[in-house]
Homo-oligomer: A and B are copies of this chain.
Amino acid sequence: MTSPHPIADHSRLSINTATTRAQWTLKEAIDGYAKAGVKGISPWRDQIAAMGLANAAKAIRAADLTVTGVCRGGMFPWADAAGRAAMLDDNRRAIEEAATLNAQCLVLVVGGLPAGSKDLAGAHAMVEEAIATLLPEARAAGVSMAIEPLHPMYAADRACVNTLGHALDICERMGEGIGVAVDVYHVWWDTELKQQIDRAGKDKLLAFHVCDWLVPTRDMLMDRGMMGDGVIDIPLIRGWVEAAGYDGFHEVEIFSELDWWKREAGEVIETCKERCLTVV
């Protein structure tokens, strides 16, 4: 397998606001990314709420940034009827926000086991029931849903869909309007990755996220690496998604309480830009 051609410029670079969440508000991120020549942004909903949806939409439009995703819908499995109703309400607001921001997709982190439950198959069924309920509403709003399979170490508490294969099985049962977000951090270890990317194809590949897997990883949530600092062969995986037809943005999403969240945000952005030309 040869690597794909290097990335020539930053015309398809997006930054997920989680990457600078410790340093910058959403307003600061919009301004800072645009000033640095970054072309896309993927905001988190708590930051959208803090800024106000209308204000966020206006500022992003003014900065001419493409919204490559809204993070996040999901957290579907419920413990009781009230929990189910609250979950659906929250996801309906997420759909509305994604529509208002003209986002390329609403990222779904599907949720883990309900509190006290060991019923993994039951959680899987709840995920599908919730998606089946919400998908017609997302379609009507013009919002594409993107299931993001999370690393299996999050199966219990964040997402019980842990492989691209499982995510695509769900997409096939759901029909139009839903696809996948491929984050190298979550899927790099999977022996079926290339095959499942091929299976997804251009229609289902809605987002491509990059960061790196550090050795050692000191924290299961807050120690993701900058591209090039870990063990993931990112160009190999980028080659696979491009061969499958993906021609969208490369979205950098780094949760790093232990390192990058402690640095000056401008340095983080410049490092993302440089690494995207050299190691992605």
Chain A interfacial positions (CB closer than 8 Å to B) = 1, 113, 117-121, 124, 151-153, 155-157, 160, 162-163, 166, 188-191, 213, 215-217, 220, 230-233
Contact = CB atoms under 8 A, between A and B. Distances in A.
A153 B217 contact: yes
Contacts of A119: 233
A213 B117 CA distance: 13
Contact of A120 (B157, B188, B215): B188
A contacts with B: majority SS: loop
Nearest to A218: B220
A160 B230 CA distance: 15
Count the copies: 2
Contact of A191 (B166, B189, B232): B166
A255 to B, nearest CB: 15
Contacts of A166: 191
A155 to B, nearest CB: 4
The 10 closest A-B pairs by CB, nearest first: A155-B189, A118-B233, A153-B153, A152-B189, A156-B231, A152-B152, A156-B215, A157-B215, A166-B191, A118-B231
A127 to B, nearest CB: 12
Contacts of A215: 113, 156-157
Contacts of A189: 120, 152, 155-156, 160, 162
Given A118-B231, A215-B157, A163 B151 contact: no
A156 to B, nearest CB: 5
Contacts of A220: 153, 217, 220
B232 A118 contact: yes
B163 A216 contact: no
Given A216-B157, A220-B153, A124 B233 contact: no
